Amino acid sequence: MLPKKDKTMAADLTSGSVPHFYRDIYDILCPDQQTQLDQDMFIKLLMKSSLPKETLTRIWELVDCHHGYLTRSGVYKALALIAVSQQGKPVNDVVLQNFGCQELPRPSLGDLSDLKALSVRLRREKNPTRLSMSYREVCSRDIIKVTLIPKKKGLILKHVEYEVSSQRFNSVVQRRYNDFVVLHEMLLHRFPYRMIPQLPPKKLVKTDAHFIEERRKALKRFLTLVVRHPNISEDPLIHFFLTFLGRDVQHNLKEQFRSAPDEFSTNRLAQTVEELDPLDTPTQSRLARDLMKHVHSSVSKLRDAADSIKEQTLEGAVDMLTFGRELSWLADMANTDSEWSSGGNETWNHLKKGFKSLHPMFPPISNALAEHSKQEDEDVVEKLNLFLDLLSAYKELHDRYDNSINKMKRKSSSDLSAPQEGEQQERRKHFALHCISMETQLVHCYMNIVGEMLHSLIELETIKHYKIYELWKNMHPMVENMNSADVVEERLGSASPTGNKSPYFPSK
């Protein structure tokens, strides 16, 4: 029989157990947990089965409720019928009854990535004033990696090259910093009313390893935000940058896209967007701008705090190496003391033996702290940096909009003989506000990154402190053996009034 949570939704699917694959498909088709699936989306799903047209028509007849949409149970039934038909069995009303309590079969639907893209597109077309994308969907659009390639000597100066890989395009290309600069210029020209992240600065003086690494991370964040943008990511400019393998990338980028019109000239909504633009859009835009300003301020402080945690962890790793190194040096010191200097006291020799056993225990602590510092940087600091880059791009978008409006006002006041141009400018203004609305929704979508960061921080700190605790705990018996009996007895007695030998590692 059906799992408990699916019984109320499957009145027309009374036999068989619903596999998780069915729910995964439904989540792709209806990520917002809608109760209805559009007919167009369902037809696309049927076509991915590669079944004959007659069979698909029959499946449609068996699940269609004649409302132009399907419920969750209808989708489950369709998936089961597709799987049955792919097994060579006839498709009819009773075929699923044979499964009884068994799990329903899994259909073969091939690559589902196009279904995800189609689902997003149909939802956005249905309501163009809503982003209709989840944070998970935004992140799944592409995964970018940017790694350093060993320096190559040019004719005059050394330069840094990066290997850039895109999961979406299954591509690996080599790019220089100036290639990113040209891409940034082209994006500002093509998408003046979208968030275009800043590039890291180009240092003209001698660069060091730290600067190069920070710039690499910033370039990765820049590309990540660009390739995950719902509109920008679909532009041929992005495909070219991530796949072109020829020489002189900068020249080819300019030749291919310099004369490309901006988004207002090519977007089908541009001429009718005024009808979708609420009257209070300018007011809402100002309120959103103020909100993001405050969010940016707080997230900046969170980033600084997270960076401080990372640096403290790294400093701890360095300190542990110092402990290990100095204890090793002390353990290997030659015996120069005499009866005259020690008075027969064997403490120093006893300690040296302890140092020899103890110093190898510090490098593992250092390694663990260094690894955790790296994870804190990747999973906490860089996530906050990514969000801050987006918030900065949002502020710059508003600044560009204000500048363009002021320019339009100056131009209209000096030239009153072109009413058609004035109408076009007014449409451009409404399109810009529409874009700002969509970009604001995208920022809200990205706010999930703060919760994701907090989850990573708590998990990492829990693991770090527990692991370091275990390493310190292993040292405890060695330290006890290093001290003379009277010192140990005196220290433990004062540390534990209750009589326990150790307040931190009590005896069993």
Q: What share of the chain has pLDDT > 70, as a percent? A: 85
Clarify whether residues 318 and 358 are in a common domain.
yes
Rounded to 10 degrees, the C-alpha dihedral 344/345/346/347 comes to -170
Clarify whether residues 122 and 254 are in a common domain.
no
Clarify whether residues 213 and 348 are in a common domain.
no
Q: Could you tell me if residue 475 is inside a domain?
A: yes
Clarify whether residues 71 and 190 are in a common domain.
no
* Average pLDDT value for residue range 325-332: 93
The better pLDDT of the pair 431, 25 is held by: 431
Would you say residue 435 has pLDDT above 70?
yes
Distance CA 21, CA 210 (A): 46
- Tell me which DSSP letter residue 103 carries: B
* Average pLDDT value for residue range 280-290: 91
Domain tally for the chain? 3
Distance CA 503, CA 488 (A): 13
Q: pLDDT band for 43, please (50, 70, 90 cuts).
A: confident
Q: Which residue, of 126, 155, 174, is where some domain finishes?
A: 126
Q: Give 217-234 pLDDT, tens digit per residue.
A: 999 999 999 999 999 999
Confidence at residue 378, expressed as pLDDT on a 0 to 100 scale = 96
Q: Could you tell me if residue 416 is inside a domain?
A: yes
Q: Give 153-184 pLDDT, tens digit per residue.
A: 554 556 789 999 999 999 999 999 999 999 99
Q: Could you tell me if residue 136 is inside a domain?
A: no
Q: Could you tell me if residue 190 is inside a domain?
A: yes
Confidence at residue 67, expressed as pLDDT on a 0 to 100 scale = 63
Sign of CA dihedral 34, 39, 44, 50: positive
Q: Could you tell me if residue 133 is inside a domain?
A: no
Q: Give 388-419 pLDDT, tens digit per residue.
A: 999 999 999 999 999 998 888 777 766 655 66
Would you say residue 487 has pLDDT above 70?
no
Averaged confidence pLDDT in the chain: 85
How crowded is residue 427: how many other Cβ atoms within 10 Å of its Cβ? 16
Q: Which domain holds residue 479?
A: 298-336+343-495
Q: Which residue, of 100, 126, 152, is where some domain finishes?
A: 126
- CATH code, domain with 415: 1.20.1270.60
Q: pLDDT band for 477, please (50, 70, 90 cuts).
A: confident
Confidence at residue 11, expressed as pLDDT on a 0 to 100 scale = 37
Please give the structure tokens belonging to residue 178: 């100036």
* Average pLDDT value for residue range 281-310: 95
What string of DSSP letters covers 355-372? HHHHGGGHHHHHHHHHHH
Q: What share of the chain has pLDDT > 90, as a percent? A: 49
Would you say residue 145 has pLDDT above 50?
yes
Write the CA distances from 74 to 13, 49, 51, 80, 168, integer angstroms. 8, 16, 18, 10, 31
Clarify whether residues 308 and 415 are in a common domain.
yes
Would you say residue 14 has pLDDT above 60?
no
Please give the structure tokens belonging to residue 401: 């909009």
- CATH code, domain with 68: 1.10.238
Confidence at residue 8, expressed as pLDDT on a 0 to 100 scale = 31
Contact by Cβ (8 Å): 136, 197: no
Confidence at residue 26, expressed as pLDDT on a 0 to 100 scale = 84
The better pLDDT of the pair 13, 143 is held by: 143
Clarify whether residues 218 and 328 are in a common domain.
no
Q: Could you tell me if residue 293 is inside a domain?
A: no
Clarify whether residues 251 and 332 are in a common domain.
no
Clarify whether residues 116 and 149 are in a common domain.
no
Highest mean pLDDT among 40-49, 127-136, 320-329: 320-329
Clarify whether residues 199 and 115 are in a common domain.
no
Q: Could you tell me if residue 33 is inside a domain?
A: yes
Clarify whether residues 396 and 482 are in a common domain.
yes
Would you say residue 494 has pLDDT above 60?
no
Clarify whether residues 307 and 361 are in a common domain.
yes
Confidence at residue 4, expressed as pLDDT on a 0 to 100 scale = 38
Would you say residue 104 has pLDDT above 70?
yes
Distance CA 438, CA 416 (A): 32
* Average pLDDT value for residue range 287-304: 97
Count of CA atoms in the C-beta half-sphere (13 A) of 147: 8
- CATH code, domain with 171: 3.30.1520.10
* Average pLDDT value for residue range 118-144: 84
Clarify whether residues 177 and 314 are in a common domain.
no
Which run of H or of E encompasses 408?
helix 382-414
Q: Which residue, of 69, 92, 126, is where some domain finishes?
A: 126
Nearest one of 68, 228, 253 to 175, comparing CA atoms: 253
